[in-house]
Structure 1
Amino acid sequence: MASINNKTIWITGASSGIGEALAYKLSEKGCQLILSSRNQAALEVVRGNCKNPETVKILPLDITKYELMPSKAEDAINAFGSLDILINNAGISQRSYILDTDFEVYKKLVDINYLGTVAITKAVLPYFIKQQNGHFATVTSLMGKFGSPIRSGYCGSKHALHGFFDVLRMEHEKDHLKVTLVAPGFVQTNIAKNALVGDGKARGHEDEDNANGLTTSDFAEKMIRALEKEKFEVYMGGKEVLGVYLKRFFPRLLHKMVLKNTAKNS
């Protein structure tokens, strides 16, 4: 098992939730960190709360500005003179029925969750190839493995990530690159509160399932272990993880169970 200690790691979506928790855990392990999101003030707070803030750099980033990704990647690499791991964590969710969802909402979900992640990954890829070493860690979702009502655009964008990164792993195994897809279930973040509704506004309130999910600290610890083991793909959560296996072997049963759970919580 490879140790993550003292690695240089770039984290997107680092101003809150999973990204913030990862920053704290990785700082404790002596890692040099580059933290990115749109919210520079929040990033500064996260850096100040890290165990070793002197080895944390702030790199403000809007993941939808694809044309800036090559220069942002250069800035990230130059921050400490090297880069070992890119953690693709930036993303946004959705809570609206297909019939009620504006097309622009779907476009925004794809722009942020999929195309933005692809753009930053492609910007880092030549550097990893040149050094013949590097690890892409992408936070997807269990919704990238099976679907659920009122999450159509979110599910679509997360499914797309699995397809892209599976191929990236295959194409660049010869370059000694690693790819880990991390699919969380319910985690105690603001993802449901910040989710887009049909007209593109933020939902504004949390889900009970998320409120009762894994803590971000527990999730970060599990994710770090998965990276050290260089896992291809890992699922994290409670009983919702069973959905991955039901989808594969008993898709009709999963269909009925998801609809029943949706009706119960609607």
Structure 2
Amino acid sequence: MSEEKVFVVTGAAGGLGWATVNALAERHRARFALIDIEQESLDQRVQELRQRGIEGQAFVADLSDESAVARLVEELRRQFERVDLLVNNAGITHRSLSTVTSNRVIRRVMAVDYHAPVELAQGLLDPLRRAGGCVVNISSMAGWMPVLGRAGYCAAKGALHQYFETFREEVREEGVRVLMVYPSFVATNIENNALSGDGGRAKHKQSTIGQVRTPQWMAKRIVAALEQGKERLFPFDKSLLGAYLYKLAPRLFLKQMVKNFRVELEVGRAERAAQSKNQPSALEG
């Protein structure tokens, strides 16, 4: 069996995924399996790694497609006897009120943000066991508290949290670790490509609280937490205070949330009015 370490990263072609690959490559010698839906961008990233003397392979997959994830797992298991690190970074979000968000959008968000990480971790469990590896899940503070206009995203990240908190204890004695990462606001394409309620691209500006961090800043914190053996990485900013406030004084938190994210209500009501005028049902599909 080869002793070469293998790092698998989803959503690796840009944003936090690519920043994490770079942060890992600066400190660890490993072979990288880069996963993304964008073939051209992915091939470019692999080429960049190889120019630096780092072995990388591209795996193109739509993580919202269950059969595509199954094929990806099969291919990864065929090529790699061990997986030292699985970084479940790929994600999508929406910016739309629940009342104007189609079932199709909710299912897609849940598939990418929850089902795919679960299926990858389960499918690669034997290679992770062989390596004494670690699963890193990029969750969100939205998994700890509600955020207007992100009901589906909050639900997916909340499910991710609960699943892998349980999973960790079930595999701990087998030598597999889990690091849950809970960023607040990071400047990545996930918000630039946020879905609208009908599955198109959200047109209104993202609402944020506190400082928006760079992917590089976040990636360095993730790698440091991984090396320190941490099991959870939280942001020390207003979003963490918000999580405590939601737990201790939920009504006060909800009032403040509505104030900070009121644009979501205004845009959502306009969309609902337009849907009511043009369609008999906003929730088909």
TM over 0.5: yes
How far apart, in 2, do the equivalents of 1:223 and 1:188 lie? Answer: 16
Change (3 A) 1:159 1:174: same
Assess if the C-alpha contact under 8 Å between 2:82 and 2:127 holds in 1. Answer: no
Secondary structure of the structure 2 residue equivalent to 1:158: helix
After alignment, is 172-181 or 243-252 more displaced? 243-252
Secondary structure of the structure 1 residue equivalent to 2:233: strand
How far apart, in 2, do the equivalents of 1:124 and 1:69 lie? Answer: 11
State the partner residue of 2:11. Answer: 13
How far apart, in 2, do the equivalents of 1:58 and 1:236 lie? Answer: 31
Change (3 A) 1:27 1:205: farther
Counterpart of 1:135, as a letter, is: C
State the partner residue of 1:104. Answer: 104
CA drift at 1:77: 4.9
After alignment, is 78-87 or 167-176 more displaced? 78-87
Counterpart of 2:13, as a letter, is: S
CA drift at 1:218: 0.4
Identity level (%): 29
After alignment, is 153-162 or 191-200 more displaced? 191-200
Correspondences of 1:227-242 after superposition (within 5 Å)? 227-236=226-235, 238-242=237-241
CA drift at 1:64: 2.6
C-alpha distance after superposition, 1:189-233 (max 9, x if no partner): 122221111101112565263895101100100011111122222
Counterpart of 2:15, as a letter, is: G
In the superposition, the TM-score normalised over structure 1's length comes to 0.89
C-alpha distance after superposition, 1:55-90 (max 9, x if no partner): 122111221332344542353355565310100011
Matching of residue 245 in structure 1 with residue 225 in structure 2: no
How far apart, in 1, do the equivalents of 2:214 and 2:7 lie? Answer: 22
Correspondences of 1:52-67 after superposition (within 5 Å)? 52=52, 54-67=54-67
Assess if the C-alpha contact under 8 Å between 2:207 and 2:261 holds in 1. Answer: no
After alignment, is 53-62 or 223-232 more displaced? 53-62
Counterpart of 2:58, as a letter, is: I
Change (3 A) 1:147 1:43: same
Q: Which has the larger radius of gyration?
A: 2
How far apart, in 2, do the equivalents of 1:143 and 1:189 lie? Answer: 16
Correspondences of 1:1-266 after superposition (within 5 Å)? 7-29=5-27, 30-50=29-49, 52=52, 54-77=54-77, 79=79, 81-129=81-129, 131=130, 133-204=132-203, 206-207=205-206, 209=208, 213-236=212-235, 238-263=237-262
Q: Which runs of 5+ in 2 are unaligned?
A: 267-285
Counterpart of 1:145, as a letter, is: W
How far apart, in 2, do the equivalents of 1:74 and 1:184 lie? Answer: 30
How far apart, in 1, do the equivalents of 2:246 and 2:131 lie? Answer: 36
Secondary structure of the structure 1 residue equivalent to 2:63: coil
Change (3 A) 1:216 1:205: farther
Q: CA RMSD in A?
A: 2.3
Secondary structure of the structure 2 residue equivalent to 1:172: helix
How far apart, in 1, do the equivalents of 2:170 and 2:14 lie? Answer: 33
How far apart, in 2, do the equivalents of 1:264 and 1:106 lie? Answer: 21
How far apart, in 2, do the equivalents of 1:47 and 1:204 lie? Answer: 32
How far apart, in 2, do the equivalents of 1:201 and 1:264 lie? Answer: 19
How many equivalent pairs are there? 260
Secondary structure of the structure 1 residue equivalent to 2:108: helix
Assess if the C-alpha contact under 8 Å between 1:57 and 1:79 holds in 2. Answer: no
Secondary structure of the structure 2 residue equivalent to 1:33: strand
How far apart, in 2, do the equivalents of 1:79 and 1:52 lie? Answer: 22
CA drift at 1:7: 4.2
